[in-house]
Chains A and B, each alone.
Chain A
C-alpha cells in the first residue's frame, strides 16, 4: 500500500474526502489553515464544494445547513475559532445533525498564540456550547491515527446523529509523517429520512432545536441523553501502553502521549516500571480503565499541554484510590520527554 508523506492537517483533509465528505465550510486560522487550503484544491477536483465562509460563525451555520440537507460535512478551526462556533455546535447537537468539527488547538485564552496546546479539553468534553449535550471527541496521537479517526468520525456522527470532534493540536497539524489510506468497507448506516431535500411525496421535515413547551423540551433532551449514554457504553477507546508491570502510570493524550512514549522508553532503560493510559476518546472518557488500574497502581502522573484539565477526569476515574500528580506546560510550550522523565523520578522519590 502506497504511503504518502503528509502534514497532519492535509492528512485529516484527505481522510475526510476518502470517507465521503464532499462539502467543507471553513475559515483560515493558524495552525490549521492548510485544511481549508487542501480542501479548496481537492474538492473541486471531485465535484465537491469548498466554501470559505466569512467567519467561523458563518462556517458552523453553513455546516448546520448542509448537515440538515443530508450531506457528510466537515469544518475545521483552532481554539479561538472553535469558541466562535460554540453556538452553532449547540444548535447542531440540539437539531441532532451529524457533522465533523476538527479543532487544531493553539495557546489561549483569547488570541493566545499559534503554538500547540491542549487547553480546550474542557470546552471539547464538558460542553462548550450551552445546554445538555456532548460531542464525541476523538484525540489522535499520530498522523496515521488522525486519518483513521477522521474517517471513523463521520460514521460515528451518522450513527448517533450527533456532532463529532477530532481534537488535535498545532504539532499534529503541522508535522509530517508517512500515512496510508486504507479503504475499509462502509458500515451500514440508516438512510437520512429526516434530511431536508424538498417535501416531495412525503410530509415536510423540520430541522430545529426549539421546543417551547417544557415537557416537550425535556423529552427531547432525554432522547439526546439516551444517545450520549449509548456512546458512553459503546464508544470508549483507550490505549494502554506497558501497564502490565507498571508501578507508576502516565496519563496523556494526543501529542503529549507520543512524547510520553519516549519518556517511558528512557525510564524503562533506567529500570523504572512505568506505563501509560492514553485516552483515544476523551469523551466518552475511559473512567473504567483508570478505576481498574487504580486497584493495582497507586501513582498516576497526568501530563497535559494545559494547566490541568484532563487531570480532573483522571481523578474521577481513580476515585481517591491513588495519588495523582500533574505536570503541565502551557502557552504553546511543549513538554520535552526529559521533563516527563524528571517528573516521574521526582514523583517516585517523594512518594513510596
Chain B
C-alpha cells in the first residue's frame, strides 16, 4: 500500500540554507531558527531589520534573510534605536550575548528599555564569553570556572552575576520582559511562544521587549552538548528562573 507522507517540520524560509559556524549543540542555532520561524509566521520578513552583535553570533547576518546591521560591541540597542526612529514601521530587533548586553552595552540596554524604544532584544545568556575563548562574563555564576576566573568566580573578587531580565523589568519603558531556555524541546516550544509575543509587542507599538534565552555553550563550558543542557537546568535555572517578568498591560 502506497503511503503519502507530508512534511510537518522543515527549515523556516527566513533561515537561509547555509551551514552555521556554531558549535555542536549550541543554543544560538536553535534560537536563530525560532526567530526565523516567528518572522515567517508573522509574515514580517520584508519589514524586519536585525542588528547582529559582536560575539559568537556576529555572523547572524549570514543566516537570516533580512536586512541587517553588524553593530559595535554592546551598541546594538543604540543602532536599533537609530533605525527605528527613522523607519518606525519596520520591525527592528537586536540579537546580543552576555558581553554585548550585560557588560559593555549595559548603558545602551538600560536606556533603550527605559525610553521604551519599540524594538525587541533577544539576549543569549550562556554565562560566559564564548567567542573569545571562555572568559568570565557578568552573568557567570558564583563558583563557575572560566579562563579569567580559573579558581571559580568569587563574590569578593568579582561580585554577583547580573540578572538582566529582572533588572530591565523595573524600568517604565520596558513592556515585555521574559526569560526562557532552549535546553530541551519543552523549553524550546515555550521560548518560541515568548519570542513571538515579544515581536508582537513591538508590532502593536506597545514598547520595549526583551527575551533572555538561557543557552548551553558546550565548547567553552568544556562539556558534551547533552551535559551542557543539563547544566542549564541544574545550575543556571535556579539563579536565572524562567518566566515573564513584565507583561504588557493590555495583556
Contact = CB atoms under 8 A, between A and B. Distances in A.
Interface range for A: 35 or more
Interface centre among A62, A205, A210 (most CB of B within 10 A): A62
A204 B68 contact: yes
Given A58-B75, A196-B49, A197-B87, A65 B80 contact: yes
A198 B85 CA distance: 14
Interface string B23-40: 000000000000000000
A277 interface: no
A341 interface: no
Contacts of B68: 196, 204-208
A300 interface: no
A69 interface: yes
Interface string A18-40: 00000101000000000000000
Interface centre among A67, A87, A196 (most CB of B within 10 A): A196
A200 B80 CA distance: 19
Interface in A190-240: 196-201, 204-210
B66 A204 contact: yes
Interface in B63-100: 65-72, 75, 78-87, 90
Interface range for B: 20 to 34
Contacts of B111: 53-54, 58
B70 A205 contact: no
Contact of A199 (B67, B72, B110): B67
Contacts of A49: 85-86
B90 A65 contact: no
A275 to B, nearest CB: 45
Interface in B51-72: 51-52, 58, 61, 65-72
B212 interface: no
Contacts of B90: 197-198
A23 B85 contact: yes
A64 interface: yes
Given A197-B87, A198-B47, A200-B46, A57 B75 contact: yes
B72 A87 contact: yes
B45 interface: yes
A191 to B, nearest CB: 16
A94 to B, nearest CB: 10
B67 A205 contact: yes
Nearest to B69: A207
A55 B84 CA distance: 18
B46 A206 contact: no
A206 B79 contact: no
A63 interface: yes
Contacts of A200: 46-47
Contacts of B81: 51, 62, 65
A208 B61 contact: yes
A101 to B, nearest CB: 14
B78 to A, nearest CB: 4
Nearest to B65: A204
Given A51-B85, A208-B61, A197 B67 contact: yes
A95 B69 CA distance: 9
Given A69-B87, A199-B66, A58 B107 contact: yes
A208 B108 contact: no
21 contacts: A53-B78, A54-B108, A54-B110, A54-B111, A55-B107, A58-B108, A62-B79, A62-B85, A65-B79, A69-B49, A69-B82, A71-B86, A73-B82, A87-B72, A196-B83, A198-B46, A198-B90, A199-B48, A199-B66, A208-B61, A208-B70
In the A-B complex, list the 9 residue pairs whose CB atoms are closest, starting with the nearest: A65-B82, A208-B70, A61-B78, A66-B82, A65-B79, A61-B75, A62-B82, A200-B46, A54-B111
